[in-house]
Amino acid sequence: MAADHHLRRHGRAEKSSPLQIVWQDRTGADKYVQGKTLDISPSGMRVELAEPIERGVYVTVQCPALGVHGRASVRSCSRKGMKYILGLEFSGGLEWKPKE
């Protein structure tokens, strides 16, 4: 994991805030899931959800507490106990800016 840290463009801030993720499944049906953030950087975030989302899927993320509302792509998804940890990369100009 240490080697992976050096590949990151930005440092991450630990933040635990509720969020909602919306995406379309393979059939085109809208799916919604509530979760929480684990950490965030200007270019992405790590979140904990109750269900998996496939790598490469584009999602809409809404996290009012952190001022995030926009598109992201799923870069990783791994199971941790009964939950799933997803790595999201922001897209479409979305960028998180920490409050001063």
| pLDDT of res. 9 | 61
pLDDT tens column, 18-75: 999 999 988 999 999 999 999 999 999 999 999 999 999 999 999 999 999 999 999 9
pLDDT at residue 11, rounded to an integer: 76
Domain boundaries along the sequence of the chain: 2-90
**Predicted local confidence at residue 1, as pLDDT:** 40
The pLDDT of residue 80 is 96
Backbone angles phi, psi at 76, to 5 degrees: -155, 155
CA proximity to 94, closest of 52, 54, 66, 75: 66
For 90, counting Cβ atoms within 10 Å of its Cβ (0-12 exposed, 13-18 middle, 19+ buried), the class is buried
Domain 2-90: give its CATH superfamily. predicted glycosyltransferase like domains (2.40.10.220)
- Is it the case that residue 2 has pLDDT exceeding 60? no
| Cα–Cα dist 97/100, whole Å | 9
Whole-number Cα distances in Å, 88 to 47, 68, 71, 100: 8, 12, 9, 23
